[in-house]
Structure 1
Amino acid sequence: MCMEMIRLEHVTKSFGGHKALDDVSIAVEEGEFLTVIGRSGCGKTTMLRMINGLQKPDSGKVYAAGEDVGEADLIRLRRKIGYVIQNKGLFPHMTVEKNITYVPMISGKKDKKQNRKLAEELIRLVGLKESMLDRYPEELSGGQQQRVGIARALASQPKLLLMDEPFGALDEITKRAMQNELLALQKKLGMTVVFITHDIREAMKLGDRVLVMEEGKIVQCDTPEQVKEHPADEFVKELIG
């Protein structure tokens, strides 16, 4: 039986008078790839930030990696969670190696040889050459930086990978290559992935299920086939166009 990796129960969150999330409930199983799509401001990123404990719900409960996020030791919990954002998040003053091994380092793993070995394994895993470990982020292309961001997110061997439009700034060819690599990686490592995108083709290609959000609510959550063949409403129909 599959374990649930994420569960949101009747989660509501407002900023000022704006309801970012409006009574959202969803469960994501271990090893599942969930893509999340909707207009800007529909609550996608707020939901992701809650799973990572970066924001608290006004009401409702959030569980991640078997823990109640509201009650958990967040530093410890975040070691089980990889977080990748669009094109950012690398430390410019650190080499690629130091960027990748940052989380293990601050968690107390100071052995230089072991960290180098880990960085070498991860850089190969995301399809880059080991020689890049001694470079700085500014010396890499956008696609290479994004790969390093994924390698860094994998350094703590997370059970759960949260990705907020990670390929949004990439050109179409690089984007497709990264999508294929990510799918292969997810299968190989058996990770649970929640992946936010603005691109319906990307959502349909990557997701075991596609979650469509509108104005803080879940409009539909289903397999790509079901979303395509049985859109829940006009908004979903328009989206898949």
Structure 2
Amino acid sequence: MDIITLEHVTKSFNGQEILRDFSLSVKEGEFLTVIGRSGCGKTTMLKLMNGLLMPDEGAVCVEGKNIAETDIISLRRRIGYVIQNRGLFPHMTVEKNITYVPVISGKKDKKENRELALRLLKLVGLEEEKLEKYPAELSGGQQQRVGIARALAADPKILLMDEPFGALDEITRQTMQDEILKLQKSLKLTVVFITHDIREAMKLGDRVMVMEDGRVVQLDTPENICRVPADSFVADLIKSVLNRS
């Protein structure tokens, strides 16, 4: 079953077309990784899925509903969104950061919210003592874990991730890759994950989508992309993996 679809979507900014006649179907429960050069439309695509942007033409549907006909605030609260700089509120403790969405959605019971924050903190591999810390008191990897915990606080079926591990060192990055794969499988999440790293895309994705100039160049399993790259751009990406392996 498709949980997200983009049908012949076009999106422009200041007269420049970012996505053109763009179509995509994301299956429920799959881990889709997206790779492409800066400016190719990856983040625009993700923001369309979350209702942060609306298409100029075409339709975006989430869970079978056109987002143009949906309560956007409710939609965003049902979709986890994780970005590279984590987007944490610096003046809030870890506990308040994690429970922010439930609280603004009307869940005011402090005991229940603390239990939720603690459960999610443990789920992403952090200790209870971190609940009272502020983001500046955490390492980059710990902040990223809190960002993921916050995205999971509304119990979403969909997790959108925009280069979430790009600023982390290599060892922490590999650890976080393993953690997000475990979470995706245990929680049966649908994940759309943008990256600049082809090795990361191939490791994480059930399918990998390569984008260029606002279009899909190739969308297939990592194995098929390695075996039969669609064009020279994809072939060069694959060569970079082989050269570093």
Q: Distance in 1 between matches of 2:152 and 2:128?
A: 16
Asked whether the equivalents of residues 4 and 28 of structure 1 are also in contact (C-alpha less than 8 Å), the reply is yes
1:64 offset after TM fit, Å? 1.3
Q: Distance in 2 between matches of 1:177 and 1:32?
A: 20
Asked whether the equivalents of residues 86 and 164 of structure 2 are also in contact (C-alpha less than 8 Å), the reply is no
Aligned pair count reads 239
Letter in 1 for 2:28: E
Task: Tell me if 1:45 matches 2:51.
Answer: no
1:65 offset after TM fit, Å? 2.5
Which runs of 5 or more structure 2 residues have no equivalent in the other structure? 240-245
1:70 offset after TM fit, Å? 1.2
Work out which of the residue numbers 205, 209, 212 in structure 2 matches 1:211. 209
SS in 1 for 2:68: coil
Q: Distance in 2 between matches of 1:203 and 1:19?
A: 26
Aligned to 1:167: 165
Aligned to 1:197: 195
Larger displacement relative to structure 2 (76-85 or 138-147): 76-85
Aligned to 1:34: 32
1:66 offset after TM fit, Å? 2.5
Q: Distance in 1 between matches of 2:64 and 2:200?
A: 28
Larger displacement relative to structure 2 (17-26 or 117-126): 17-26
If the length of structure 2 is used for normalisation, what is the TM-score?
A: 0.96
Letter in 2 for 1:88: R
Q: Distance in 2 between matches of 1:97 and 1:166?
A: 20
Letter in 2 for 1:166: P
Q: Distance in 2 between matches of 1:65 and 1:153?
A: 18
Q: Distance in 1 between matches of 2:16 and 2:212?
A: 13
Moved over 2 A (4+): none
Aligned to 2:3: 5
Aligned to 2:243: none
Asked whether the equivalents of residues 82 and 160 of structure 2 are also in contact (C-alpha less than 8 Å), the reply is yes
Aligned to 2:155: 157
Letter in 2 for 1:59: E
Letter in 1 for 2:129: S
Aligned to 2:18: 20
Letter in 2 for 1:20: I
Q: Distance in 2 between matches of 1:216 and 1:142?
A: 31
Task: Tell me if 1:62 matches 2:60.
Answer: yes
Larger displacement relative to structure 2 (18-27 or 159-168): 18-27
Letter in 1 for 2:97: N
Q: Distance in 2 between matches of 1:239 and 1:58?
A: 31
Asked whether the equivalents of residues 65 and 159 of structure 1 are also in contact (C-alpha less than 8 Å), the reply is no
Asked whether the equivalents of residues 87 and 166 of structure 1 are also in contact (C-alpha less than 8 Å), the reply is yes
Work out which of the residue numbers 104, 108, 130 in structure 1 matches 2:106. 108
Aligned to 1:231: 229
Q: Distance in 2 between matches of 1:155 and 1:66?
A: 23
**Aligned sequence identity (%):** 71
Deviations 1:102-135 (A, max 9, x none): 0000000000000000000000000000110000
Which runs of 5 or more structure 1 residues have no equivalent in the other structure? none
Q: Distance in 2 between matches of 1:134 and 1:17?
A: 47
If the length of structure 1 is used for normalisation, what is the TM-score?
A: 0.98
Q: Distance in 1 between matches of 2:29 and 2:81?
A: 16
